[in-house]
Amino acid sequence: MLSAEKNQQLTQVGPGTPMGEVLRRHWHPIAGIDELDRNPVKAVRLMGEDLVLYKDLSGGYGLVDRQCAHRRADLSYGFVEADGIRCHYHGWQYNAQGQCVARPYEDQIDPQARQKCKIQIKAYAVKPLAGLLWAYMGPLPAPELPDWEPFHWPHGFVQAVFSDIPCNWLQTQENSIDPVHFEWMHANWSRRLRGHTGGYAPKHLQLAFEEFEHGFVYKRISEDTNEQHPMWTIGRVCLWPNGFFLGDHFEWRVPVDDENTLSVTWSFIRVPREREPYVQSSIPTWTSPIKDDTGRWITSHVINQDIVAWVGQGRIADRTQENLGASDRGIAVLRRRLMEDIDDVQAGRDPKGVQRDPARNQRVFLPSDSRDFFQHGLTLADYQRHPKWARLLNHFIFHAGQPEWVQHAHAEATGVAIQPISVIDL
């Protein structure tokens, strides 16, 4: 368990809080590039701050304070210009650096005032990468935006999914270093949800956790594997500080505020060899529902099941009341390392995972047991016979509610139509 003080240190994310300052040293995915193509202005809330994200008429991106400096009108109802965003109320305009560049009536009455204007609203850096828009809210100079190797895998259909989760970021990220939950929440629980009352998934027998530059790798052996299995020789990546890489997809848990989190999933599906070469012109992004029509949490898909566990711990999990066991060694390791990050930032040092060398930030390698498949692909016939890849080719197992237009794009890319599922079968 944690003390109330340490739990507060790790969960509070607002400006000036210990963990908020750590997380502000990293880039975070906050929206889809195609979202801003459809609608160039979006209200966002990040780490306790109300902001507006926009794409201006010149194609540049900005992330600025939600309120206009004039009389506090909501800039998410503003409109974009060639350089920045303009308030709908009185026309004050701000560029991506938050500088007020136009005050129409004031500029007319006193033309010299435009050169003298020192009005500034807060503004943060935004960069596009891999179909996503990423924000950096920390001190300058900003570190490198991580350029992970999977972002460059060829012949893949990529989609990104957002979910609004009503709980603190930490209980979602602790899921990224908890191997045993797969056995129970995704395998055994899913069997019960499908109506199967007998038999259990293979038990976990051994766990290992190894730190590396970009986070931690967890490894596991279960009753149906051994020390030669990729889950032991390669493992899965708890990506620092708030990500998860499972060999074929990423998940990020972006703090909205102390009691809400934006879940972001980036999924790569290799197209069959018969569909190669394939170049994706635009990465679709969409928002997944987390409750059904009756108000119950959705339990049919992988990450929806995770969400049920996360929100069930409360808006902010009370870690003073927990009782950790041997399977929670990774949780303890994660918390200790985050506390060290807090110490590092308070001492003026970069926390773990921050990259400042552009030469080292090119197609950055991450461990993946799927690398051979992603490099070489499979024929459609071999694909459909594969115990793992056939499931991902035929179904979108991670989130419920995949829109028809995304299913159509998947079929256009792969030649295979998405089939519905009632409950995942892992």
**272 lies in the same domain as 391:** yes
What CATH number is associated with residue 112?
2.102.10.10
Q: Which domain holds residue 71?
A: 27-136
> Does 116 have pLDDT greater than 80?
no
> Does 50 have pLDDT greater than 70?
yes
- Domain presence at residue 396: yes
Cα dihedral sign, 32-33-37-40: positive
**297 lies in the same domain as 401:** yes
> Does 112 have pLDDT greater than 80?
no
Kindly report the number of other CB atoms within 10 A of residue 342's CB atom: 18
Residues in Cβ contact with 167 at an 8 Å cutoff, skipping those fewer than 6 apart: 259, 260, 261, 310, 311, 313, 314, 315, 316, 317
> Does 333 have pLDDT greater than 80?
yes
Q: What residues pair up with 268 in beta bridges, in sequence order?
A: 158
**218 lies in the same domain as 280:** yes
337-373, pLDDT tens digit by residue? Answer: 999 999 999 999 999 999 999 999 999 999 999 889 9
Which of 87, 114, 136 is at the close of a domain? 136
- Domain presence at residue 406: yes
> Could you tell me where the DSSP H helices lie in 119-238?
169-173, 180-181, 189-193, 230-233
Residue 198 pLDDT: 84
pTM for the model: 0.96
> Does 38 have pLDDT greater than 90?
yes
Element (H, E) at 411: helix 404-414
**270 lies in the same domain as 213:** yes
**309 lies in the same domain as 401:** yes
* Calpha distance 260→290 (Å, rounded): 13
* Calpha distance 245→394 (Å, rounded): 21
Kindly report the number of other CB atoms within 10 A of residue 311's CB atom: 17
Residue 118: pLDDT band with limits 50, 70, 90: confident
**115 lies in the same domain as 161:** no
User: How confident is the model over 209-227, as a mean pLDDT?
Assistant: 96
**52 lies in the same domain as 179:** no
**113 lies in the same domain as 32:** yes
**244 lies in the same domain as 374:** yes
Structure tokens given for 345: 């930032």
> Does 114 have pLDDT greater than 70?
no
- Domain presence at residue 17: no
- Domain presence at residue 21: no
Q: Rounded mean pLDDT of the chain?
A: 96
- Domain presence at residue 46: yes
- By C-alpha distance, which of 15, 86, 74 is closest to 43? 74
Which of 74, 108, 136 is at the close of a domain? 136
**385 lies in the same domain as 286:** yes
229-262, pLDDT tens digit by residue? Answer: 999 999 999 999 999 999 999 999 999 999 999 9
- Domain presence at residue 8: no
Which of 70, 101, 136 is at the close of a domain? 136
**64 lies in the same domain as 174:** no
- Domain presence at residue 15: no
Number of domains in the chain: 2
**209 lies in the same domain as 339:** yes
> Does 115 have pLDDT greater than 70?
no
- Domain presence at residue 144: no
Residue 83 pLDDT: 95
